Every structure is written in structure tokens, then in C-alpha cells.
């Protein structure tokens, strides 16, 4: 009867813990599953099952462990709950997602003791691969991979004696132009392949350095194979027309390339075995299953558990009580929706500002879909005395929580083929911001062939002027937590440089437009 009571209590406490975790981390977990619908994260559906299977494989060893528990596990759970509640308050899901994994790990330690991590470290760590990367990191990775893949793809195309010109991410074949967009960046291969490479490295019973090589090699393998895919599309388009870059054939090529990535990964492991582990066959080195370390196995003892016949570790029981309190508290938290300050829409932004006259130029829908802003303006402003217009662009986001966030020109401009020169911050003393400080902007001269442009840009976010992308992310979290706001905008001004428009003159023109136009922005980008 005692044994039955212990088992019943364990089942009951597990159910209670599961319900509490769902109440505390509900939105973060739902958002995670929703992201698995995207091609680059579609492997996320498999990660929990693989991790669960690895835990199931080690069930015999876990059953023999003494349930001594550890108060260190409670400390991890406390930290995870604090982060989880902060993530729920701010609705920044990346915090909630990792907090959930932290609590899960803490519960294991609180039940079995610290020694259990020698068995469960890999299944718990492997769950990290089901979490989508933060949007700003995704945007930077995507932009960089697009550039690299475009360069290598064009190099392969030229090997087939095909005339091709590359400008940023646009591959010009003469009769056709191919745009290497976000979907062709290689991330839809990199994330699944990295998770599979991590799993293979674990199954690869070899020295640590060889396992590390296997995992890290997923990056160059992805880049090379994605570049090969882009090159093959270019070659097929050049010979058989633009239809080769669309529809089923395009998707089919994607699957073939991913299978090729997996094949290269296994070839790499086979070669490492052949070159460095000569006394073993590949089948002896690559063993599918969890690696169980040699642990001193003890039978359960009542002195390690609570002073009750049911026998749950005190640290684990404390975690259960803490989760009940935290889940109850989370029920009373406000449904943290972003505050939406009243603002005017950019359709009403004046095209006549003192002596400046503007003409809206708009933006193609494919770029609007990629940037995911809520409102924007892009217009060319000029005075009668100017030799070149100022291109004025503002992208406004009412919320930057769920995947949509400001795209930095540092990643967008190179994607259009522009090379960035000296980068610096510049103070505009003639313009005073609401906080009483002069306007600070990022200033850079960009070039593409013989063309040059002078660019000013900054992030105008909830009354702050920010020039650093990472500092902008910190204030995004802080304001979401303390002010329930994640709105903000990117402001960018560009002026072409030529024989009649020097860098000095470009600075003067941009400064003059800033002095005239930027004071109008608070009506459209709330402080």
C-alpha cells in the first residue's frame, strides 16, 4: 500500500506540475508551436519526441537512482520562474521559452539530485533547438547568409561559362533576374541541420574535438549546399526559362539539397573515423542511443526524503508548492497587451515642409511583406536650390513582440549590394529631442560601383533616440516590462553623392532637412 501511495503521489504531483507549467508559460509555448509552421523551424515538432525518447532509453538507470533531491534544483526553478513571469509581463517570448527549459531542468535536479544531469544533460539541452531565434538575430543571419550564398552561387554559375552579374542579392542573367530573398538564405536548412548535427555529434562516440567539428561543420555545409542550389536554379533558368525557379521544382530542389546536407554530414563522420579511429569501424563509433555514464547506483533510503512515508524529496515538494503559488499569481496577471499610443498615420505626413517639397515613391509589396511594419513613409524631399533630393524613410511598428521588429540598415543595405564605408555617430546640435538632448544619428557613406550615398539613420523608440541595435533591444525588453509598450520606428535619410554633391554638401543638406522635418515626427512616432 505504501508503494502504491508513493506512485500515486508522484503521478499526482507530475500532473499538477504539468498544469502549473502550462498556466505560467502558456503564451510562450503556444508561440513556439506556431513558429514550427515556418519551414526553417519545422523540425521543432520532432525535438520534444526525440528528447523524450532519449529519456525513455535511460529509464532503467533513472529508476535505480536514489531520490535524494537537491536544493540547487529549487534555486534553478526559482530563477526560471522569475524569468518566466518577467517574460509573461513583457510578452517577450524568447525569455519565456528559455525560462521554461530552465524550470524543467531544475525540477529534474530537485527530484533526483545533481547527479541526474550526467544522464539527462543531453535530452534537456537538445530541447533548445525547438526554440526559434530572436527576430533581430534571425534578420542579421538571414541577410549575411543571403550575401554569402549569392557570391558562391554566382561563382559556380560562372564555372559553367554563363555570363552573370551580381548586385547585392540580385543575380542578373541578362534575360532573367533572380532575387536571393530570405527564403533562399539557407536558414531553412541551417536550423534543422544544426539540430541533426548536434544529435549526430552525441551519437558519435569519438573524442570531444571530433564531435565539435561535426556540429560546427553544419554551418559551412549549409552554406555550400545552399549556394549550389542557387547556382543550379540559375543554370536551369538560363537554359530553360524562369519557370525553373518557381513552384514544385523549386521546392523539390530544396528537399534534395537538404538530403545532400545530411549525406555530407555522414560522409564527414565516416572520414573522421577512417582517418583518426583506425582500430574501429564506423558502426562501432556511431551508436544511436543515449550514453549512460557509470554511476554508483544506490537504493532509495528514507533518510534522503521528507519525513513522511510517501517519500518525495523535500526539494521537489517545495518546487511543487512554489509552482502552485506562481501559477496562481500568473492567473491574476493582467493580460499584457501592448499599449497603443494615439498617433497620426504617415498618409497624413506633409509633403510640403517649409521650402522642402516631397514626392512619395512607395515600396514594392514583397519588401513590405518582409519588413512587416504597421505604417511607413518613403518620399523624396528637395528644395529648389538642391541638386539631389533627400530620401526620407520611416518604418513604424506598433508592436515588436511576435516576430516583427525593426530591420537595421546594417543588414539591409549590404543585401542591396551597397558596401558600407566608415561608420560613425554624429550629433545634430540644431535639433533637440524631447529628453533635452541633441539628436544623435548613425552616419555612413555607402557605395555600389561608381555610385555613392550618404546615409543617416537612428531608432526612435518610445521617446528615446538610439543608435546601437543591441541597446535598442534592451530598451525594448525594459519598456515592455515597465511600460507595456514595444512600439518604435527606424528613421533613415539618404542623399546621393556625385560631382555636384560632395560629402560636405550632403551633410549640410541632411542637417537642414532634419532641422525642418524631424520635429514633426512625434505626432507619428509617439514619445
DSSP assigned state of 437: P
Residue 417 banded pLDDT, cuts 50, 70, 90: low
Q: What is the pLDDT of residues 508-525, one digit of tens each?
A: 999 999 999 999 999 999
- Domains of the chain and CATH, by start: 2-132+310-331 (no CATH), 135-285 (no CATH), 346-523 (3.40.1000)
Going by pLDDT thresholds of 50, 70 and 90, the confidence category of residue 434 is low
Average pLDDT over residues 64-86: 90
Report, as an integer, the average pLDDT of 192-217.
Answer: 95
Q: What whole-number distance in Å separates Cα of residue 196 and Cα of residue 84?
A: 28
Three-class SS of 358-420? EEECCCCHHHHHHHCCCEEEEEEEECCCCCCCEEEEEEEECCCCCCCCCCCHHHHHHHCCCEE
Q: pTM of the full predicted structure?
A: 0.73
* Angle of the 2-35 helix axis to the 93-112 helix axis, nearest 10: 160
Q: How far is Cα 158 from Cα 152, in angstroms, rounded to an integer?
A: 10
Q: In a 3-state reduction of DSSP, which class is residue 29?
A: helix
Nearest residue to 227 (alpha-carbon basis) of 147, 124, 137: 147
Structural contact between residues 317 and 67, judged by C-beta atoms closer than 8 angstroms: no
- Report the share of the chain in percent with pLDDT over 90: 46
pLDDT digit string, tens, across residues 322-381: 999 999 888 776 555 678 889 999 999 999 999 999 999 988 887 888 788 899 999 999
Band (pLDDT 50/70/90 cuts) for residue 429 is confident
Q: How high is the pLDDT of residue 184?
A: 59
139 or 426, greater pLDDT: 426
**What is the length of the chain?**
527
Is-contact 167 417, C-beta < 8 A? yes
* pLDDT exceeds 80 at position 117: yes
Q: What is the mean pLDDT of residues 159-180?
A: 77
Q: Which is more confidently placed, 368 or 202?
A: 202
Predicted pLDDT of residue 483: 85
- The three-point CA angle 11-129-224 to 5° equals 155
Stretch 92-114: mean pLDDT, rounded? 92
* Res. 144: pLDDT tops 80: no
> What span, in angstroms and rounded, lies between the C-alpha atoms of 446 and 444?
6
Q: Is 164 helix (H, G, I), strand (E, B) or coil?
A: coil
Report how far residue 226's alpha carbon sits from residue 182's, in angstroms, rounded to the nearest whole number. Answer: 12
Grid cell of 381 as nine digits: 524631399
In this prediction, residue 309 carries a pLDDT of 37
Task: Pick the closest to residue 323 from 27, 88, 17 (CA basis).
Answer: 17
Q: What is the pLDDT of residues 224-241, one digit of tens each?
A: 998 888 888 888 887 877
C-alpha cell at 178: 533572380
With a pLDDT cut of 70, the percent of the chain lying above it is: 87
**Which stretch, 55-59, 432-436, 469-473, has highest mean pLDDT?**
55-59
Mean pLDDT of the chain: 85
Neighbours of 30 (CB within 10 A): 12
- What local confidence, expressed as pLDDT, does residue 250 receive? 61
Amino acid at each position: 500500500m505504501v508503494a502504491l501511495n508513493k506512485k500515486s503521489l508522484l503521478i499526482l504531483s507530475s500532473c499538477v506540475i504539468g498544469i502549473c507549467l502550462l498556466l505560467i508559460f502558456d503564451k510562450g509555448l503556444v508561440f513556439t508551436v506556431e513558429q514550427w509552421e515556418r519551414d526553417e523551424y519545422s523540425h521543432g515538432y520532432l525535438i520534444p519526441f526525440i528528447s523524450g525518447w532519449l529519456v525513455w532509453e535511460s529509464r532503467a538507470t533513472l529508476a535505480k537512482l536514489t531520490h535524494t533531491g537537491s536544493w540547487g534544483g529549487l534555486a534553478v526553478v526559482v530563477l526560471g520562474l522569475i524569468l518566466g513571469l518577467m517574460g509573461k509581463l513583457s510578452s517577450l517570448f524568447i525569455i519565456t521559452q528559455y525560462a521554461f527549459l530552465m524550470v524543467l531542468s531544475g525540477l529534474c535536479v530537485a527530484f533526483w539530485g545533481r547527479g541526474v544531469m550526467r544522464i539527462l544533460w543531453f535530452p534537456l539541452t537538445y530541447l533548445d533547438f525547438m526554440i526559434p531565434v530572436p527576430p533581430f538575430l534571425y534578420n542579421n543571419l538571414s541577410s549575411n547568409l543571403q550575401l554569402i550564398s549569392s557570391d558562391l552561387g554566382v561563382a559556380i554559375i560562372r564555372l559553367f561559362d554563363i555570363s552573370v552579374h551580381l548586385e547585392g542579392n540580385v543575380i542578373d542573367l541578362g534575360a532573367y533576374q533572380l532575387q536571393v530573398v530570405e527564403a533562399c538564405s539557407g536558414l531553412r536548412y541551417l536550423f534543422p541541420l544544426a539540430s541533426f548535427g548536434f544529435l549526430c555529434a552525441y551519437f558519435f562516440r569519438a573524442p570531444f574535438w571530433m564531435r565539435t567539428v561535426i556540429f560546427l561543420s553544419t554551418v559551412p555545409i549549409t552554406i555550400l549546399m545552399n549556394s549550389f542550389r542557387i547556382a543550379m536554379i540559375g543554370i536551369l533558368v538560363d537554359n530553360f526559362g524562369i519557370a525553373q525557379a518557381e513552384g514544385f521544382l523549386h521546392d523539390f530542389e530544396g528537399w534534395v539539397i537538404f538530403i545532400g546536407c545530411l549525406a555530407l554530414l555522414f560522409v564527414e563522420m565516416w572520414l573522421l573515423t577512417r582517418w583518426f579511429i583506425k582500430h574501429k569501424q564506423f558502426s562501432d563509433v556511431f551508436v544511436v542511443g543515449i550514453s549512460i555514464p557509470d554511476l554508483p547506483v544506490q537504493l532509495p533510503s528514507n533518510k534522503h526524503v521528507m519525513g513522511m512515508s510517501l517519500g518525495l524529496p523535500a526539494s521537489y515538494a517545495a518546487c511543487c508548492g512554489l509552482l502552485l503559488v506562481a501559477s496562481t499569481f500568473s492567473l491574476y496577471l493582467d493580460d499584457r497587451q501592448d499599449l497603443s499610443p494615439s498617433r497620426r498615420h504617415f498618409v497624413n505626413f506633409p509633403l510640403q515642409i517649409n521650402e522642402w517639397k516631397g514626392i512619395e515613391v512607395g515600396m514594392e509589396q514583397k519588401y513590405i511583406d518582409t519588413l512587416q511594419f504597421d505604417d511607413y513613409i518613403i518620399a523624396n524631399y528637395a528644395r529648389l536650390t538642391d541638386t539631389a533630393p533627400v530620401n526620407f524613410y520611416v518604418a513604424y511598428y506598433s508592436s515588436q513582440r511576435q516576430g516583427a521588429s525593426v530591420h537595421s540598415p546594417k543588414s539591409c543595405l549590404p543585401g542591396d549590394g551597397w558596401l558600407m564605408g566608415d561608420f560613425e555617430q554624429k550629433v545634430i546640435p540644431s535639433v533637440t529631442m524631447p529628453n533635452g538632448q541633441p539628436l544623435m544619428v548613425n552616419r555612413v557613406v555607402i557605395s555600389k560601383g561608381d555610385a555613392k550615398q550618404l546615409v543617416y539613420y537612428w531608432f526612435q523608440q518610445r521617446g528615446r533616440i538610439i543608435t546601437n541595435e543591441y541597446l535598442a533591444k534592451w530598451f525594448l525588453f525594459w519598456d515592455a516590462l515597465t511600460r507595456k509598450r514595444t512600439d518604435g520606428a527606424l528613421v533613415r535619410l539618404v542623399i546621393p553623392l556625385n560631382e555636384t554633391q560632395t560629402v560636405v554638401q550632403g551633410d549640410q543638406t541632411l542637417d537642414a532637412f532634419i532641422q525642418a522635418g524631424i520635429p514633426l515626427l512625434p505626432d507619428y512616432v509617439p514619445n
